[in-house]
Amino acid sequence: MVAFAPLTPALLRRLADAHYLNVYEDDFQWRGDLWKKVHEDEDAFWRGEIIKLPQDDWHERGGNQYSYFALLMEEPVLEDVFLYAIFRARKAKLQRLQKQYQLGDSRDHGPIADSLLRSKCISLAGADRSRLMRKLMDVEIKALEDLTAGDEATFDGIVSREAGLLP
């Protein structure tokens, strides 16, 4: 029989750090798997069958509407379009997680918490498990923010240069 361990700040930090690394590793694996599929069937990529191609990325800047995806598609380069599709998929996941976090809905992180606890041979009481799930959600949001950091500014800068808004 497994005894319940208290969720101390040190244990919470250790589990959170492990999850942060898992998010990065999973993202790297996901991106690599998608890239492999793209090279196996590039036409499927262009049809949006491997990863959804952005269709709703219209923004306003300097009073003008723009779509980075539309600019990319004027002279499409596989790697650029792929990276932008990855960015948009991450951004959508981040927005979903942020909304769930605001609503206090961490139930999707139950299996993640259970797997992480099993891998460390730890068992937590119900209240501690709920606290852990919320922390894992917070850490995943932070990891996704870190993974997308700089991308949006880079895309905005390119759009601004293309539209003549920046020197």
Q: What is the pLDDT of residue 161?
A: 63
pLDDT band at 1 (very low <50, low <70, confident <90, very high): very low
pTM of the model: 0.84
pLDDT in tens, 42-69: 999 999 999 999 988 887 777 778 788 9
Tell me the average pLDDT across 140-150: 91
| 3 SS3 class | coil
Tell me the average pLDDT across 133-155: 88
Mean pLDDT, the chain, as a whole number? 89
Outline where the chain has alpha helix (H).
9-40, 42-46, 68-74, 78-103, 110-119, 126-148, 151-162
User: How many Å apart are CA 47 and CA 43, to the nearest integer?
Assistant: 6
| Every domain of the chain and the residues it spans | 9-51+73-162
pLDDT in tens, 81-122: 999 999 999 999 999 999 999 999 999 999 999 999 999 899
Terminal Cα distance for the chain, rounded: 68
